[in-house]
Amino acid sequence: MAIERRRFLQAAGVGAVLGLSGCTGNTSPTEANNETSEASGGSQSEGESGAARELTLATTTSTYDTGLLDALNPVFEEKFNARVKTISQGTGAAIETARNGDADVILVHARGAEDEFLREGYGVNRRDVMFNDFVIVGPADDPAGISGMESATDAFATIAEAGATFVSRGDDSGTNKKELLIWEAAGVSPSGSWYREIGQGMGDTLVQADQSGAYTLSDRGTFLATQDNIDLEIQVQGPLKDGPTILKNPYGVIPVNPAKYPDVNYSLAMAYAGFLTGPEGQEIISNYTANGSQLFFPNALSEEPQFGQYVPEDYDGGENASESSASVSDAQFESWVAQHVPEDF
């Protein structure tokens, strides 16, 4: 279920604000309704003329914890006379919510899981929205000695070999999926007292890692938004700062297929996808900062057609489809970084 930022801040032992735009604690329809709808089949437009229509958005915790949705959703609500009901949870849970017909649209960051959602026919018209990257963070004294490593897999293997404490989200989120992929690539099956799975979102995971003097994997956006409240430091950089491409972190928006669930608010879901990927939404994303740093980089607008965003990455099939699609995906991400990330970031 959703991470309440007030609870997160209390756990971090800080005040009521994160000090970032859009996270001022104002009670908006989006934040006030940060719970799963009890009604199945998503949400429907209210039939009464002039009444606000409701859109149920299932999304990863990073878009909520960073406050980005507080900057985006009120603008969309006013523009489309709508009310966005946000379900903030890990990407895996967000996709499952939509698979059960309890959301109209998802905003998530695990391309493999997104592709499975598309293949099963639950989602349609996927669009790229934005990206950042993952970073490996840990205590300043760096007990495992991974600081500055150029390989995420080597860093994970070193942490395991040293038996240094690692806090895992353990919640099937996009971050958790990425973490498990790195362990697999490192040839490590993490277990033992040094490896702690907590089943929590990114904010709580950073707090617990900080309190335990542990390492963890974090999306850069949430780390930047909370770094003033914790003592963890980035030990291994992601590709935004010349780190390994395996730490890439693209986000996509996917409306739920009305052929699967006729009662979903498909027209409003498509409007939301269009808003996020259009000039206004992309500008809001680009301008959103915390502690002087841009948290997400918009990548929806392109003069050249980007057909790959609409279908699973291995859609062309073939014997080596997975390997080929991974290579293309890495090259695409590196191109985004070159185009959208300033050299002095």
Amino acid identity, residue 223? F
Rounded alpha-carbon distances, angstroms, from residue 222 to 11, 230, 276, 293 = 15, 12, 19, 11
Confidence of residue 14 (pLDDT cuts 50, 70, 90): very low
Min mean pLDDT across 23-37, 174-188, 264-278 is at 23-37
pLDDT at 156: 98
Cβ 344 vs Cβ 261: under 8 Å: no
Confidence check: pLDDT of 30 > 50: no
pLDDT: is 188 or 316 the higher one? 188
Query: Could you give all domains of the chain from N- to C-terminal order, each with its CATH number?
Result: 53-131+250-340 (3.40.190.10), 136-247 (3.40.190.10)
For 124-152, what is the mean pLDDT?
A: 97
Residue 6: which of 61, 51, 87, 65 has the closest Cα?
Answer: 65
Angle at 227 between CA 18 and CA 189, to 5 degrees: 125
CA 176 distance to own-chain centroid? 11
Does residue 133 register a pLDDT over 90?
yes
Least confident interval from 19-23, 163-167, 174-178: 19-23
Burial (0-12, 13-18, 19+ Cβ within 10 Å), 121: exposed
- Supply the pTM of this predicted model: 0.83
Quick one: which of 233, 260, 294 has its CA closest to 104?
Answer: 260
